[in-house]
Amino acid sequence: MAGKFSGGAGGEEELEEKSLNYCWLPYLSGYKPLPMPSLPTPIISAEELYPLTGQSDLLILDCRHNLFDTGAGRRLWAEAALPGAQYLHLDEDLSGPILPGQTGRHPLPETADFAAVMGKLGLEAATYVVVYDDKGGGIAARLWWMLMALGHERVAVLDGGIQAWEAAGYPLLPGKERTGAPTQPRFPNGDFPGTCDRAQTDKLRQDPAFTLIDSRTAPRYRGEEEPIDPVAGHIEGAINLPWPDNLKDGKLRPREELRERFAVLQAEARQNVFYCGSGVTACHNILAYHYAYGEMPGLYPGSWSEWLIG
């Protein structure tokens, strides 16, 4: 299953053949393959989570976020959250600094900075992390992916989010910050393997061994509307699989339905790379794909907002 990757003026670079259980991408600019995770499922139901609350090795993280009111998520957490849940802010905790003219809207943070954030929350190697939001996992999946990519595989997304928790009749409490001593997490996988930068994405979109998938809604993909970024449209060569279609009644669709949805990506022996507007909701497609097949496709974290920079 080895292929060729166009190296432009520098010729072609041979792609190293990988197991079908691994996402493999060209070894360019220090890229490292993303290991196959060992957890059998990336989601947990409210009914499964409730009996675990209060355990010392459980860390529940609230990721609610509103792109147009960036303080709303923290306010909601302070008012009512899952018992013991800590809050992580998409812009402040799950993203690095925006560099004008260089990065998209939500660049990945430095691994050391993210480790410090997680250390304040008491993360250890044995900690089981459950992440949730109020958008079907569209934000929480970013944190799920970050932990998985760095090698902390004991992480799951609460299926149905806080709405499913409330619907089950489970309690909500005002958010309260952790006051314990920080830990020093050690992530075994280095600096977010399984990602592509802009130059790599530009090459792979032209390579028949790869499929580039836009995870935004169809109107944004078609360029009919663009509520966030200055220019509408999509990366040339990308197909569209909108992330909200992974959901049914606010929860992740059954595996069989997700396999039907992603069948177009399995029809040919290609490697798949997802993007969105800023590297957030594309992670939901990766979550759903992993749930369906047990594989981890690639991510272009800069996504459309970085691609526009040129």
Query: Which residues are identified as catalytic?
Result: 276
Packing angle between helix 111-120 and helix 140-150, nearest 10 degrees? Answer: 110
User: Closest Cα to residue 151, out of 192, 99, 209, 195?
Assistant: 192
Nearest-angstrom CA–CA distance, 25 and 132: 30
Q: Give the C-alpha separation, 182 to 232, whole Å.
A: 43
Which residues in 64-82 are b (16+ Cβ under 10 Å) and which e? bbebeeeeebbebbeeebb
Rounded Cα–Cα distance for residues 186 and 127 (Å):
12
Task: Report phi then psi at 282, rounded to 5.
Answer: -60, -30
- Listed as own residue / partner, the contacts of 5-11 with beta carbons closer than 8 Å and 24 or more positions apart are 5/203, 5/204, 5/207, 5/209, 6/203, 6/206, 6/207, 7/203, 8/203
Tell which residue, 69, 60, 121, has the closest CA to residue 90.
69
d(CA 149, CA 152): 7
Burial class of 99 by CB neighbour count within 10 A (0 to 12, 13 to 18, 19+) = exposed
Count Cα neighbours of 161 within 13 Å in the Cβ-side half-sphere: 19
In whole angstroms, give the CA distance from residue 191 to residue 249: 35
How many C-beta atoms lie closer than 10 Å to residue 295's C-beta?
A: 18
